[in-house]
Amino acid sequence: MKINAYLNFDGQCEEAFKFYEKVLNGKIQFMARFGDMPEGAQMPGSEHLIMHVHMTVGDNALMGSDSPPPYFQKMQGLQVALHLDSPEEADRIYGALSEGGNVTMPIGETSWAIRFGMLVDRFGTPWIINHAKPM
């Protein structure tokens, strides 16, 4: 079994995933618009929106879509957690994701981590950035 985050957007899915691909050194494996899929005909006016995107980052997957109007709901009650291999990578990713977003906890040292911070990026996705201390 694998568990993956699936993010929903209000028309910014393509822009967000192209940004995440760059920042996270990922690879978009599949991206389809509602207008490209037979099921998309059930959502008139949403042809240009992303019906599904699948991106890999190492052995992990991040997926998402645009929610056609009026179905979009702002993300709440969740965060995407990234566990980085170095403090430098944690700082780089935190800096990139926080541009134009909202910092909820500045990145810094904690009792459990060399680098830890929280933010909501400019697309509305809440992130936790962590580089743990050795056990």
Q: What is the pLDDT of residues 2-27, one digit of tens each?
A: 899 999 999 999 999 999 999 999 99
In a domain, 57, yes or no: yes
Q: Is the pLDDT of residue 41 over 80?
A: no
Torsion of CA 54, 71, 69, 97, to 10 degrees: -50
Q: What DSSP string describes the chain?
A: ----EEEEESS-HHHHHHHHHHHTT-EEEEEEEGGGSGGGGGSTT-TTSEEEEEEEETTEEEEEEEPPTT------S--EEEE-SSHHHHHHHHHHHHTTSEEEEEEE--SSEEEEEEEE-TTS-EEEEEEEPP-
Same domain flag for 62 and 9: yes
Question: What digits encode the pLDDT tens for the residues 93-107?
Answer: 999 999 999 999 999
Provide the CATH number for the domain around residue 115.
3.10.180.10
Tell which residue, 38, 26, 42, 34, has the closest CA to residue 9.
34
Cis? peptide before 68, omega within 30° of 0: no
In a domain, 99, yes or no: yes
**Average pLDDT rounded to a whole number, residues 125-130:** 98
Same domain flag for 60 and 13: yes
Same domain flag for 92 and 115: yes
Residue range of the domain that includes 94: 80-132
